[in-house]
Amino acid sequence: MRRLIFGIILIVIPFVVTYLYPISAPSSIHSLGEFYLKDSLTSVRSPEVVTSILWDYRGLDTIFETAVFFLAIMGGLAIFRELKLEYPSWEEFPLPVKVVTKVTAVLIVTVATSLALHGQLTPGGGFQGGSTLAVAPLLVIGAVSLASLRKIGITLERAVLVRILGLTGIVILALIPLALGGYAVQNQPYFPSEFLGTLLGGSLLWYNIFEFLAVGAGFTAVFLILAVAGGGRND
């Protein structure tokens, strides 16, 4: 009886919530929002307003955010600095699982790259692409082994190196306009806004690429550490 009542409540709640909060278009847009929507394409040269707010209008915020995330991951890695990563090979799943995992990993890398490179045109961007990218090594660790990950050249040292390169790239990008006489984290007119008819959004594309590398490599490093720090899979 209690389960029945619980079930009825569970079914009724969505209808009540939908009835109480009808989804409708707002009658007016806040003036700040209107400014971003109208200004983004002409001044940032990017139709994707979220990315242009993240890397242009509020670019300094995002750089601080990236620095905080960098410090968090580096702090996490520092805790495990005594750990010797050995890339063990463990008993593997049956063949179909391994093959499908490898095919899926390639697909994930492709989707992640397109998310990052299209960040200034469609929803997505560096962080989203990077987090998607890091799922591929995680899947390979789970379904195949750490040893196979090293065989294709993904090691902890390289992941940390790529992460540092990504962060350095972001800092250099932020300082380029300053060196050319503008402000730090300024976008136009210091970066090319168009290439072969495709909008690049000025610096947005480059920020996205470096953020993609930094986040993807950072999460990969953490997954590598966690795969071993948890004791690995004991077979």
Partner 1 sequence: MILLYIGAGLMVIGALCDLLAGIGMLRFKNFYLRLHAATVGTVGGAVVPLIGVALAALGMPSLPGRLAIAGASFITALIILLVAPAGSTALAYAAHRSGVEGNFHFDHLRGEER
Would you tell me which residues interact with partner 1 (CB under 8 A)? 93-94, 96-97, 99-101, 103-104, 107, 143
DSSP code of 38? Answer: H
Of residues 83, 101, 84, the one with CA closest to residue 92: 101
Asked whether 119 and 205 are in contact (CB, 8 A), the reply is: yes
Is the CB of 102 or the CB of 158 nearer to partner 1?
102
Is the CB of 106 or the CB of 229 nearer to partner 1?
106
Is the CB of 60 or the CB of 100 nearer to partner 1?
100
Is the CB of 1 or the CB of 95 nearer to partner 1?
95
Q: How far is the CB of 53 from partner 1 (least distance, A)?
A: 26
Q: How many whole angstroms separate alpha carbon 56 and alpha carbon 221?
A: 29
Q: How many whole angstroms separate alpha carbon 225 and alpha carbon 85?
A: 7
Task: Kindly provide the b/e burial profile for residues 32-44, where b requires at least 16 CB atoms within 10 angstroms of the residue's own CB.
Answer: eeeebeeebeeeb
Q: How far is the CB of 100 from partner 1 (least distance, A)?
A: 4
Q: How many whole angstroms separate alpha carbon 202 and alpha carbon 119?
A: 12
- In a 3-state reduction of DSSP, which class is residue 24? coil
Q: How far is the CB of 102 from partner 1 (least distance, A)?
A: 10
Q: How far is the CB of 112 from partner 1 (least distance, A)?
A: 15
Is the CB of 58 or the CB of 233 nearer to partner 1?
233
Q: How far is the CB of 7 from partner 1 (least distance, A)?
A: 12
